[in-house]
Amino acid sequence: MVHISARVAWHLDGWNGRICSRPEANTYCIGPYSYPGTMIAEQRDLPWEQAHRGCTCTKDVIPPCMYSVNAFGSETTTAYAVTPEWFHDEDRVEWEMPPSTVCIWPYELMYEDDVRQPNGGFNYELRREKARRYFEEIQESKSLIFYYANYSNPFSDDEQRRYVLVGLSRVKAVGPELVYRNVSRETRERWGGYVWQRAVTSHYPDEGMRIPYHVYMDRPEVLHRIALFPDNPRNFKYGTRHISDDDALVLVERFLEVATTLQEIGDQTEDWPRRIAWLQGLIAELWRERGLYPGLPAVLKLIRFTQAIPWFKVQVGSGREAAARDLLFDFLDGNASAVPGLTLAPNEIAGVRKRWLLYNDDQRHLLREVFPRFDLREDQLERILADDREAYGIRSSLREIAANPYILAEEFVGEDQDDTISFHKIDHGMLPSPHLGGAPLAEVDDWRRLRALCVEHLKRETRSTFLPAAEVLERVNRRLDPLPEWKRTHFSEGYLRAYREELAAALVVREHDGKPYLYLRTVYEDERLVEETILGLVRRPDISLRSPVTAQHWRAFLYDPHSPLCRLDAGEYEAAIQSQVEVCQKIFVRPLCVLSGSAGTGKTTVIRALIQAIEKAHGSGSSFRLLAPTGKAADRIRERTGKEAETVHAFLARLGWLNDNLTFKRSGGRQEDSVRTYIIDEASMLNLELVAALCRAIHWGSVQRVIFVGDTNQLPPIGRGKVFADLIAWLREAGFDQSVGMLTTNLRQMENRLLGQGTGILDLAALYQQRPCAETDSADETEAAEEILRRVQEGGDVDKDLRVIYWSGYEELEAALIDCIIRDMEADTGRKYDPDRPWELWAAAFGRDRGPGRPEYQQVLSPYRGDTVGTEYLNSVLQQCANQRMLEEPGTLGGVTLYDKVIQVRNRPRSNPIWAWNADQGRPEQIEVYNGELGFVYPHKLDKLRLRSLERFQVVFPRKGSYRVGYGRNPGFGPNRRPLPAEPVEDNLELAYAISVHKSQGSEFDRVYFVVPKNRRTLLSPELFYTGLTRARRHCTLLVEEDISPLLSMRRRENSSLVTINSSLFRFQPVPEALKQRADWYAEGKIHRTLADIMVRSKSEVIIANMLFERDIRFQYEVPLYAPDGTFYLPDFTITWHGEEWYWEHVGLLTDERYRRHWEEKRKWYDRFFPGRLVVTFESGNLSKDAEAIIARYFS
């Protein structure tokens, strides 16, 4: 039996058949991955929805989300379809949507190869027939329907785009095929005249379940527990897909887990005991439908014995499944001359038996005894059996797989993220329902089961390299608890001790302070490999230079006589260059070194000097390789140094270390032995897996030096670990300071100050730089922080390069954002904004009126993808502002129209290039385009100047020179005039008027507009704010919600992204338990007793905090104190004593005159507004004694 998935557009009130109660807050339904496609974004009338908020979607009230809004509604609603523009008919068809009804269409089938015609068109009759067959396979009152939202949902972000399941039910009825009325005969003959939607009604609420996300959107701790992401995303593509009994069983088990959680927390939206009973009954039903050998048809397909598949299905329906399996394999082995009831010609018998013998004994054993138990696809079986199965992650032998099929769930990595083998898929075959009569292949508490479950959960951890065993086991047991009794067990830490040897092939158990922690073995090995490689390099003696590189040489490499600094303040410039010379001299002779510096410190200039020094010291033919983690970073370092650069992935692929599915090989590649020096830029973006792959791909005996270059203040990498930060910390702690070069003089800041262009960006960014807990208070930092924060609080122009705008509500944000963008574009271009022709100003500002354009002119940034502060919504607002004319005609393709600014969101490397038109050569070529590249959309060169409907277009990426990359259903013709394959826009591109801070990393823009929300804090960190702020070269506008509080919050050390990552590179660093459980105790300013060294800025303050803890004196740290006139400071400690507040300031050394004046001014502020409430200690060798006296006098 088949079941179906059904995509829905996101709804804020649970798809109840009504317009959202707060339509302005639903930014997800207009996202590029809504349903159907971008129709809602194109048709939505927000003021109309606001006027009809909460209304039932009747004939008079039909919103564009009409196809999915009634999924769980209780009343009849109305839907319609408008004839496509190319029909040239202006009619539409309406139909009723009964309660609990959605509309779906099998879009995937509409674009299969067999419906394509040689001229690039489609056979619409064959399309119609495919759709009919799809719906005919759905069995009313039997098939299940699983509702899901694509990436446009509140749980997706740029780091992790996810489908989310929202409910399930049983199909009650499939509506009739819909056709357009009053269409011409020519239209019917040419395009079919049928509607690409069909209604499917379910039995909800009598049968089914809806996950009440709408009730808990402001309770992330509950959402985290009930959010349901499918193990196999493959079933949730293209609007709808058929789902097998086995996959449906996996999903129902997951729904049961969610239902149990909702019952536990006391949710009142459903009768959960009744829903749980229904789900349990459904599980029993699906087991009967699944049977014991759901994988046998795929086995028969693999060995090309397809004649037996219909026969086997008949036997299954007659209850003879096991006997039929035995008959088939007896026949294949030659133990039976025929299969009763299956007629085969002699040549067919000979052919299938010969094909069977082509497999070796181990392969045949798996095909006969193991694979039939599991609902795997034919292509998956083929990869598992192949000699090169390691390309798909499988390191185990076939015999090991036969002994432990759970290995497939642990190791298999398919062609893409949708090609997976989940734990539950294997567990179903290992522990089938007792009612099926098949013997279980494992015990419920089998170590193989435990290991596979632990591996599954550790693989889902994308940041830390290890997790506490207790945390992993808690998740494992939560997964098992709702299962039927014959599959249920409880794993304790004792199992980790008892089966340590058996678990060791996939897991590493490490004890620390009496607690066990778990690693994936591959991750543990990666950490140790990186450690060994680094240790081997750092322990080498200094490099001998064939030709000396003196301080004079370094000055010549670094000094730029054309720099404005040279003219404006030669002395200060000389001092800055001298500091760079000293750094270069220190690190250049070290076999491993790190060059680190914040934005503007001249890292690229130093890289260029290092290359010149290499050529001077070792000869111009000395080999070196410039590497970067991303394509855009490699392009940038290539442009700035004039030397060839490539991505780490490209380097690995060239040496055979990268599989076609973009996973890394652990062996088998070639080691590079001809390069003596490696310079790796943007090293803060390197995750552990990437660095480990690099370690395997290099022959270290041939290497003279490795230089990592980066900025530790930026966001940590996407992926596991924090290699760059760990490396710097360890080099310092282990006494290898000579290998660390810190660029501390900010040349960009100096230049801006001397040119009068403002230093606000870098002054503010300095407050968010990551530093270890200092020995003493830094007087300069304290003064600078309080001074600029007070200016930021006032808003407006903080400096010539920094503006702060406070807003409240999404409408105010939109207005402020558009207003300041337009004013800046007017100032930059000298043109006035014409509201009737807005595109002219946008084109001029981005340089599209005189060339391919400069995407880096301007960029809106947000921490988030969703919500009214997120990139999806801001993109729709800015697209309307800049490109309304194109939205009206020719419309959009995948949410994108002509002249939009776009970003490539999918890597198209050498192994999977994309076709582009080479305008210089006048021919199509395949090129590489990388995730993060920005460009502009232009009409396809084969299309007319004026289009009624957009079918395709080309994108010009400025860094790709004369290439125009084609996207759409028919992106053009390749060599020999053969049509090129479709390049769906939604699979490759997104709008880029606004992008996330993560996506901006590694790029710089002339102007940045950085949206900072107050009421969403989940992703906010000092690294995120620093990264976003420093993307601006010339000017940054901060659009901050309501007040300065989110900026103060992000500055707090405990909000750092780095401190929440478990890593053990050189040092075992588990995240403190108190920090992980901060939701239970945390309020801003509250210091946890065990976390003082993480949460305060100096060791002097740690001493004071600990003394207050010891005496049980309640205090807060760096909580803003506002005076009646609106000014504020950040007292080091705010102490509540006998119901009154006191303020404790620990003052640094007063030897600096500027700082001394600042302190006097601050003290007067306290005397004026909070007289008698200030206590003070000064930096000295008697701090403990002085603090003791303060406490004795005021707080005892």
Give the pLDDT confidence of 249-263 residue by residue, as tens digits: 999 999 999 999 999
pLDDT recorded at residue 820: 98
pLDDT recorded at residue 507: 98
pLDDT recorded at residue 447: 98
Short-list 942, 970, 937, 969, CA closest to 954: 937
Cβ 916 vs Cβ 924: under 8 Å: yes
Residue 11 burial class via C-beta count within 10 angstroms: exposed 0-12, middle 13-18, buried 19 and up: buried
Token output for 914: 């994309």
Helix 1099-1110 vs helix 1183-1194: angle between axes, to the nearest 10 degrees? 40
Token output for 337: 């001359």
Contacts of 300 (CB under 8 A, 6+ apart): 306, 308, 309, 312, 328
pLDDT of 761 strictly over 90: yes
DSSP class of residue 435 equals G
pLDDT band at 88 (very low <50, low <70, confident <90, very high): low
pLDDT in tens, 723-743: 999 999 999 999 999 999 999
How large is the C-alpha radius of gyration of the chain? 32
Lowest mean pLDDT among 178-187, 308-317, 896-905: 178-187
pLDDT recorded at residue 1019: 83
* CA–CA separation, 691 and 757 (whole Å): 39
pLDDT recorded at residue 69: 98
Q: Does domain 544-756 have CATH number 3.60.10.10?
A: no
At 248, the amino acid letter reads: A
Locate tokens 């059996």: which residue? 385
Lowest mean pLDDT among 311-325, 529-543, 1111-1125, 1141-1155: 1141-1155
At 744, the amino acid letter reads: T
Q: Does domain 1085-1194 have CATH number 3.20.20?
A: no
Lowest mean pLDDT among 138-147, 270-279, 308-317, 1011-1020: 1011-1020
Short-list 611, 565, 724, CA closest to 1063: 724
Q: Using alpha carbons only, what angle is made at residue 321 by residues 318 and 326, rounded to the nearest 5 degrees?
A: 135
What percentage of the chain reaches a pLDDT higher than 70?
97
Task: Give the distance from CA 618 to its chain's centroid.
Answer: 42
pLDDT band at 1082 (very low <50, low <70, confident <90, very high): low
Lowest mean pLDDT among 470-474, 738-742, 744-748, 796-800: 744-748
Could you give the strand order of the β-sheet that contains 677-680, starting from the edge strand earlier in sequence? 645-647, 624-628, 677-680, 705-710, 592-597, 740-743
Short-list 402, 404, 380, 403, CA closest to 393: 380
> What three-state secondary structure class fits 330?
helix
In the chain, how long is the greatest CA-to-CA distance? 105
DSSP class of residue 368 equals I
pLDDT of 124 strictly over 70: yes
Q: Does domain 446-542 have CATH number 1.10.10?
A: yes
pLDDT of 1149 strictly over 80: no
Token output for 1077: 């459980």
pLDDT recorded at residue 1065: 96
pLDDT band at 909 (very low <50, low <70, confident <90, very high): confident
* CA–CA separation, 647 and 662 (whole Å): 13
Token output for 746: 């900010």
pTM, whole model, 2 decimals?
0.91
What are phi and psi for residue 145, nearest 5 degrees? -125, 125
- Residue 361 vs residue 415, higher pLDDT: 361
Token output for 81: 């379809």
pLDDT in tens, 626-671: 999 988 889 889 988 999 999 999 999 999 999 888 889 999 999 9
pLDDT of 1091 strictly over 70: no
Number of H helices, E strands in the chain: 44, 37
Produce one character per residue of 602-620: b if its CB has 16 or more CB atoms within 10 Å, e if not.
bbebbbbbbbbbbebbbee
Task: Give the distance from CA 564 to its chain's centroid.
Answer: 41
pLDDT band at 817 (very low <50, low <70, confident <90, very high): very high
* CA–CA separation, 296 and 320 (whole Å): 14
pLDDT recorded at residue 1074: 67
- Secondary structure, 3-state, 975-1010: HHHCECCCECHHHHEEECCEEEHHHHCCCCEEEEEE
pLDDT in tens, 967-1009: 998 898 888 888 898 999 999 999 999 999 999 998 999 999 9
pLDDT band at 1177 (very low <50, low <70, confident <90, very high): very high
Beta strand spans in 440-534 (E): 467-468, 507-512, 515-520
pLDDT recorded at residue 947: 73
Short-list 229, 90, 206, 82, CA closest to 148: 229
pLDDT recorded at residue 979: 86
Mean pLDDT of 521-532: 98
What percentage of the chain reaches a pLDDT higher than 90?
78
Residue 812 burial class via C-beta count within 10 angstroms: exposed 0-12, middle 13-18, buried 19 and up: middle
Short-list 148, 182, 660, 697, CA closest to 416: 660
Q: Sign of the CA dihedral 410, 412, 414, 418?
A: negative
pLDDT recorded at residue 996: 96
Containing 454, the helix (H) or strand (E) segment is helix 447-460
Mean pLDDT of the chain: 92
* CA–CA separation, 595 and 683 (whole Å): 10
Task: Give the distance from CA 106 to its chain's centroid.
Answer: 28
pLDDT band at 1085 (very low <50, low <70, confident <90, very high): low
Q: Sign of the CA dihedral 1043, 1047, 1050, 1051?
A: negative
pLDDT recorded at residue 1087: 62
Q: Which residues pair with 1136 in a beta bridge?
A: 1141
- Residue 378 vs residue 640, higher pLDDT: 378
Cβ 295 vs Cβ 325: under 8 Å: no
Mean pLDDT of 504-515: 95
Cβ 716 vs Cβ 1057: under 8 Å: yes
Cβ 81 vs Cβ 178: under 8 Å: yes
At 493, the amino acid letter reads: E
pLDDT recorded at residue 588: 96
Beta strand spans in 695-817 (E): 705-710, 740-743, 796-799, 802-807
Cβ 989 vs Cβ 936: under 8 Å: no
Lowest mean pLDDT among 4-13, 511-520, 560-569, 824-833: 560-569
pLDDT of 606 strictly over 80: yes
Token output for 135: 């719906």
Task: Give the distance from CA 748 to its chain's centroid.
Answer: 32
Containing 1135, the helix (H) or strand (E) segment is strand 1133-1137
pLDDT of 816 strictly over 60: yes
Locate tokens 């432990």: which residue? 404
pLDDT in tens, 33-52: 999 988 999 899 999 999 99
The CA distances from residue 894 to 41, 43, 239, 795, 907, in Å, are 11, 14, 14, 38, 18
